[in-house]
Amino acid sequence: MAMSMREIVLCASLIFVIGVSVLNQTVNSTSSFSTQILQNDQSSLSSSSPSILHLHKQQKQRTQDQKLRLNNLQVIGTHNSYHREVSLPERIHFPTLMATVDPHFEGYYYSHASVHDQLEYQQVRSFEFDVYVDTHGGLFADPLIRRLANMSESDEAHYGLPQDLMRQPGTKVLHIADADVGTICHTLVECLTQVKAWSDAKNRQHVPIPILIEFKRTESGLEKQGGVVAEDWTVEALDRVDAEIRSVFSDNQLITPDDIRKHAIDNGVVGHSNNGNKNNITLEEAILAYEHGGGWPTLSSSRGKFFFVMDNEPTHPIQIRDPYRSNNRLNLEGRVIFTNSVPGEPDAAFIKCNDPISDNNQHEIQDLVSKGYFIRTRADEPIQMLLKDEVPAMRDAALASGAHIVSSDWVGAGVSARYNSDYFVGLPLGRSARCNPVNAPGGCEDEYLELLV
């Protein structure tokens, strides 16, 4: 049946309206889909940006690591890193016991955080452990001050020494036997195991960590009051310390004197006193030949590693250096620990210069750093300096000296507040390491020294 003109117009209008509606839906759907894609792309980019940025930083780090040596850095360390101050129950007896040892015993009223917390939260990258011989175990398990304090059961539970560790044979860690015995770790192996646990958790991506070892014996004044008499540091006892270190760290986690000499020899470094035999190069000659194939290892090859240095003076009354170098080991052949030596000696690689502020010491440290020696200094001395507000000047001098380790009793803001002081030691921006202000090459950037997460 034929449609009227009016019906034809109405039908055309309806078709037009339906077409427009379909078109709008299509456009809206396409627009929504495009918007969703854009949002997804932006979300994906946003979530991947930190990863891309970190990859960029890792590449920058790898490039910089090849150009830097481990002695181009400066780190903050803790002095007597294990130390916990004398407990409240013991404090009444502490002055009497210490009268014959150190009349300035107030200088021992400081404490450090756990090994993990020093590394993780205070950005400490160097430790110092004081050690005693305990061949058969148990020598330091029942200190005089604990017996005098006659602690209650609850105090003993809180402050007591772990007898299972203290009665085992092995090197013990504490400050002054029978008097100042508080410690965050009790044996050398325990302390080092805690350091290694943190390192492993960080996939060994940290800067190399130097660890100072001070070999100690008991004080005669405390021995006369009924304290223990320590064993001597014989060559055999020193051998056991090396063995304990190696029981925690594998060879590829350590930087040893032999590593330094071998690297120099392999690179053709020839010493001046070797009678034509390049294998006779001294440790000092290897260290100082950094422009000719020797020197300290690159940061690339030493990242995540550890090396040990001796805190005892070269001519310390408790003579350690000579027995440690005995049996024709003047270059520390086969040894783990770098001795604290003096320039001109075969074993001179590490030198301790604790005072950066007296006389011309700061310039002397800068000169030693420039030559290639590895240096430790201190940012502060005991509490007496803190109370006189003298420590900021010493800290600033220590940092400016370029010493590779700047050790302190006060790392992290707030640690000295109990003495009405805001003093603390740290690197700019809270970093764990910085480019050495004396010998770092141009272009060294602090930001890429550690990228830990």
Q: What is the pLDDT of residue 449?
A: 98
Does 292 fall in a domain?
Answer: no
Question: Is-contact 189 247, C-beta < 8 A?
Answer: yes
> Cα–chain-centroid distance for residue 36?
49
Does 169 fall in a domain?
Answer: yes
Residue 163 pLDDT exceeds 80: yes
Does 19 fall in a domain?
Answer: no
Q: What is the pLDDT of residue 315?
A: 84
Does 399 fall in a domain?
Answer: yes
Length of the chain: 453
pLDDT tens across 280-336, in order? 899 999 999 998 889 999 999 999 999 999 999 998 767 899 999 999 999 999 999
What is the mean pLDDT of the segment spanning 384-413? 95
* Contact residues for 279 (Cβ-Cβ < 8 A; gap 6+): 265
Percent of the residues in the chain that have a pLDDT greater than 70, as a whole number: 87
Does 278 fall in a domain?
Answer: no
Estimate the crossing angle of helix 361-371 against helix 391-401, to 10 degrees. Answer: 20
Sorting pLDDT into bands at 50, 70 and 90, what band is 50? low
Domain that holds residue 432: 57-255+297-448
pLDDT tens across 172-186, in order? 999 999 999 999 999
pTM here is 0.88
Range in 13-27, 68-82, 341-355, 389-403 the model is least confident about: 13-27
Counting the structural domains of the chain, the total is 1
Does 183 fall in a domain?
Answer: yes
**CATH code of residue 168:** 3.20.20
Does 315 fall in a domain?
Answer: yes
What is the mean pLDDT of the segment spanning 33-56? 55
Q: What is the pLDDT of residue 88?
A: 94
Sorting pLDDT into bands at 50, 70 and 90, what band is 168? very high
Question: Is-contact 217 299, C-beta < 8 A?
Answer: no
Sorting pLDDT into bands at 50, 70 and 90, what band is 20? very low
Does 138 fall in a domain?
Answer: yes
pLDDT tens across 428-449, in order? 999 999 999 999 999 999 999 9
pLDDT tens across 399-418, in order? 999 999 999 999 989 999 99
Q: Which amino acid is at 217?
A: R
